[in-house]
Amino acid sequence: MKRTVWFWLIAIAVTLAAIVFQRQSGPTYPKKVELNIDTIATTIKLPRTSEVGTQLQIGIPALPWEYTAKLHHRPYPSNSDWEIEPPFWPENDKFVSYLPEINQKAAKLEYFIEIEHFTSGKVIVLPEEPVVIRYKGAVPAWALIPHIVFIFIALIFSSLSGVMAAFKYNKYKFWSVVTLILIFVGGLVFGPIVQKFAFGQFWTGFPFGSDLTDNKTLIMFVVWLVAVLVNWKRSVPIASVLAAIFTILIYSIPHSLRGSEFNYESGEIVTGMITYLKAFF
């Protein structure tokens, strides 16, 4: 009994670690930027995802009177001129400005904040590289919640099956089958539904495209399908161990690095790429 409890604890710990890493390293997680001006020393968070049909507020701490700040933005990817919003203005206890309302799913903007000192003319650009933000459609709870829940539980059971297989605990076969079913339902049934609401297309992975989210889901499903089939009439625990390791590694790759992106020239939704280093730092 105690041995089984440890299996579960290890599986949950591994899954939570992978989820935290995936969220914080991905390009949809807010970008943290250090702001140091006179007596102000703080970290601001710049959003990298938003819903269509809204004007997204960008907020910074209230600046001393001798500073002004402006918000620059343009479509991404493009070489068009930067558009400049009016200077940040005080609202409650901070300074705010707004990105324009975007109504096209999968459209992206890049933006940065320029802070200037009135008298010295010194200019501070935050961050050094522009932030890329992607817009998505609203996803109803009936589609999003099952997708998240099934994938989350599938990751736990995947790790559980791998740990049990590593210790030759025969129950790993059962949890391997459960993992396969959950990945199918959460990733290949509800996943495309979420994708359709968010970005306008059901499937943009292989063989129709190279969307990383879709391809990661497909790879995880195939890996566990192979593990289940290999173990169907015999016992090959190493297959489940490798499937579990591969699943965690694949999931930990930030999926939105290569996802649906609106092409401003063609007017179509394609698969776009955000440089990993640019997204991570």
Could you report the per-residue pLDDT of 17-76, keeping only the tens digit for each? 888 887 776 667 889 999 988 788 889 999 999 999 989 999 999 888 889 999 999 999
Chain mean position to CA 95: 27
53: Cβ–Cβ under 8 A, 6 or more apart, which residues? 101, 102, 103
Ramachandran region of residue 168, left (φ > 0), alpha (ψ -120 to 50) or beta? left
| Claim to verify: residue 148 and residue 128 sit in the same structural domain | no
| Claim to verify: residue 20 and residue 149 sit in the same structural domain | yes
| Claim to verify: residue 128 and residue 192 sit in the same structural domain | no
Q: Which amino acid is at 208?
A: F
On whether the CB atoms of residues 227 and 176 are closer than 8 A, the answer is yes
| Claim to verify: residue 266 and residue 159 sit in the same structural domain | yes
| Claim to verify: residue 65 and residue 43 sit in the same structural domain | yes
DSSP structure string for 151-177: HHHHHHHHHHHHHHHHTT-TTHHHHHH
Tokens of 57: 């507020």
Whole-prediction pTM = 0.82
Tell me how many degrees the CA angle 262-266-271 measures, rounded to the nearest 5.
40
Looking at the predicted structure, is the pLDDT value of residue 210 above 70? yes
Tokens of 128: 């050094």
92: Cβ–Cβ under 8 A, 6 or more apart, which residues? none
Reported confidence tier of residue 205, pLDDT bands at 50, 70, 90 = confident
Q: Domains in the chain: how many in total?
A: 2
| Claim to verify: residue 156 and residue 196 sit in the same structural domain | yes
Per-residue model confidence as pLDDT tens digits over 148-168: 999 999 999 999 999 999 998
Give the SS3 label for residue 246.
Answer: helix
| Claim to verify: residue 49 and residue 92 sit in the same structural domain | yes
Q: Which domain holds residue 12?
A: 2-26+139-280
CA separation, residue 236 to residues 59, 70, 165, 169, 182 (Å):
55, 61, 8, 12, 21
| Claim to verify: residue 158 and residue 247 sit in the same structural domain | yes
| Claim to verify: residue 101 and residue 129 sit in the same structural domain | yes
| Final residue before a domain boundary, out of 115, 136, 157 | 136
